[in-house]
Amino acid sequence: MAAPCVLLVDDQKDIVRLLHSSLQTLGHQLDLVDAPSGEEALLEASRRKIDLLVADYLLPGISGVELMHKIRARNAELKVIFISGMTERKARAEMLGAGAVAIFDKPIPLADFLDAVERSLGLVRTIFPPETGKESEEHRQTLSELLSGFRQKVKADAVFLISDRARVLARAGDLYDSSMEVSMLSALMAIYSAGLKVSRFIRQERLDSYHVFRGGDHDLILIPVDASHALLLAGKELANSERMLQTVEGMLFVRGDVENILQSLGVSPPHMVTEAPVPASDASEAAIMFESDEPEPEVDVDALFASASDKKKVDDLDAFWNDAVEKTGNIPTNPDVITYDEARKLGLTPGKGTGRLPSTGPLKKK
């Protein structure tokens, strides 16, 4: 079987080189062809069957959309990914309406781009693989059927069961634009993880929270199933004032069924919010309660030596310390350190009310 052919079209050579080298890292057998313009891309398409077109939306000469239509006239199964520096919703809607499987703004998020290539060509997904584990195909099918029935009931576009590693365990339906699916799910699960911390801080006995994003391509609602999985619902107007409560109640209901299936597979941790260990970075915060309210005193080295030897200036530090040892007859264990009592006997402590030295601890020679 011939390797899938990917045609990369952009007048910026550095972008083509970046995409070309990135696709080579996937490890799949791919036939990669580069072209700097739409006209040269058409010439390449006349020589071979193109499986995936990756093209800039604004090409010199014919546009990326026009190029897509011309190649599709010969190959109706052509998949298309557009690259664009434009962020206008109208242009994006035109590209999606033309049948693009993904659209990426510059600079291109490579993880999402590579995942979109694997999805569009039906390759084994290495960038964003489905969750694998102990679950059997039968249970996976049960989860998919459960989510599919729920999606249809609430008239949503998509519903995902996601692990805490941002991997998809089961799904039903598709997002309006799945271009940034990898990055979006990772960001959502970071919010999920932060929500677990908040639940611990307020000592929730059971996970009872949800996160809502309203507007845009979809309304998004994310709720935790347990300490390792979450449900994500995407659809139009799911979070408006008329449907919000009903939608969340429906998600909480199906969450119970999902949790039961996960527990039967042995992959679901307790629904209870467990106590999290205090991170090492928080140790300094815990230590604050033991600190004194008074500011830490500072040592004024100039004033220290000015007060020694009847306030005379010390020109030779080594001679000063040797003389100090002779006066006390007490040689410190550490030659660079004297105790506070020794300093007081030497007349090194400041006058009353100066507040320059700490009340305890050794002094170091400079």
Lowest-confidence segment of 76-90, 315-329, 348-362 by average pLDDT: 348-362
pLDDT above 70 as % of the chain: 69
pLDDT at position 87:
67
CB 148 within 8 A of CB 170: no
Distance CA 279, CA 195 (A): 17
pLDDT at position 314:
46
Distance CA 102, CA 117 (A): 9
pLDDT in tens, 134-159: 445 566 668 888 999 999 999 999 99
pLDDT at position 14:
93
Q: Mind listing the domains of the chain with CATH numbers?
A: 5-121 (3.40.50.2300), 137-265 (3.30.450.30), 301-364 (no CATH)
pLDDT at position 279:
40
Lowest-confidence segment of 115-119, 123-127, 180-184, 217-221 by average pLDDT: 123-127
Burial class (CB in 10 A: 0-12, 13-18, 19+), 34: middle
**Chain mean pLDDT for the chain:** 79
Of 95 and 348, the structure prediction assigns the larger pLDDT to 95
Question: Residue 295: pLDDT above 60?
Answer: no
pLDDT in tens, 205-256: 888 888 999 988 899 999 999 889 999 999 999 998 888 989 999 999 999 9
Q: For residue 19, how many other CB atoms are within 10 A of its CB?
A: 24
Which tokens in the block code for residue 149?
């029935």
pLDDT band at 360 (very low <50, low <70, confident <90, very high): very low
Question: Residue 71: pLDDT above 90?
Answer: yes
Distance CA 208, CA 31 (A): 50
Element spanning 171, H or E: strand 168-173
pLDDT in tens, 16-52: 999 999 999 998 999 999 999 999 999 999 999 999 9
pLDDT at position 303:
54
pLDDT at position 306:
52
pLDDT band at 11 (very low <50, low <70, confident <90, very high): very high
pLDDT at position 140:
65
Segment 101-117 shows an average pLDDT of 92
User: 121 vs 23, 57, 78, 117, 185, CA distance in Å?
Assistant: 13, 21, 10, 6, 21
Question: Residue 161: pLDDT above 60?
Answer: yes
The alpha helices in the chain, defined as continuous H runs, are 13-24, 38-47, 64-72, 89-97, 110-121, 137-154, 181-201, 244-265, 283-287, 301-307, 317-328, 340-345
CB 96 within 8 A of CB 103: yes
Question: Residue 116: pLDDT above 60?
Answer: yes
Residues 6+ away with beta carbon under 8 Å from 136 = 265
User: 173 vs 101, 296, 297, CA distance in Å?
Assistant: 15, 62, 65
pLDDT at position 133:
53
Lowest-confidence segment of 67-76, 100-109, 198-207, 263-272 by average pLDDT: 263-272
Segment 112-127 shows an average pLDDT of 89
Instruction: Judge if the upstream peptide bond of residue 107 is cis by omega within 30 degrees of 0.
Output: yes
Residues 6+ away with beta carbon under 8 Å from 81 = 52, 53, 54, 55, 100, 101, 102, 103, 104, 113, 116, 117, 120
pLDDT band at 126 (very low <50, low <70, confident <90, very high): confident
Cα 332–Cα 333–Cα 335 angle in degrees, nearest 5: 65
Question: Residue 355: pLDDT above 60?
Answer: no
Question: Residue 132: pLDDT above 90?
Answer: no
Question: Residue 292: pLDDT above 50?
Answer: no
The radius of gyration of the chain's CA atoms, rounded to the nearest angstrom, is 34
Segment 287-296 shows an average pLDDT of 41
